[in-house]
Amino acid sequence: MPRLSALVERFPERELEILRLCARDTEFRYVCEDYEAAVKALRHWQSVDTNALRVVEYRQLAGEIADEITERLGAGSASVTSLQDNRSGQAPRSTHEVWEKTNTQREME
pLDDT at 88: 44
pLDDT at 80 over 90: no
DSSP class per residue in 59-96: HHHHHHHHHHHHHHHHHHGGGGGGGS-TTT-PPP-SHH
Percent of the chain with pLDDT over 70: 67
pLDDT at 82: 33
pTM, two decimal places:
0.66
| pLDDT, tens digit, 9 for 90 and up, residues 30-79 | 999 999 999 999 999 999 987 789 999 999 999 999 999 999 998 755 44
pLDDT at 74: 86
pLDDT band for 99, please (50, 70, 90 cuts): very low
The CA distance from 38 to 102, in Å, is 37
Query: What mean pLDDT do residues 82-102 have?
Result: 43
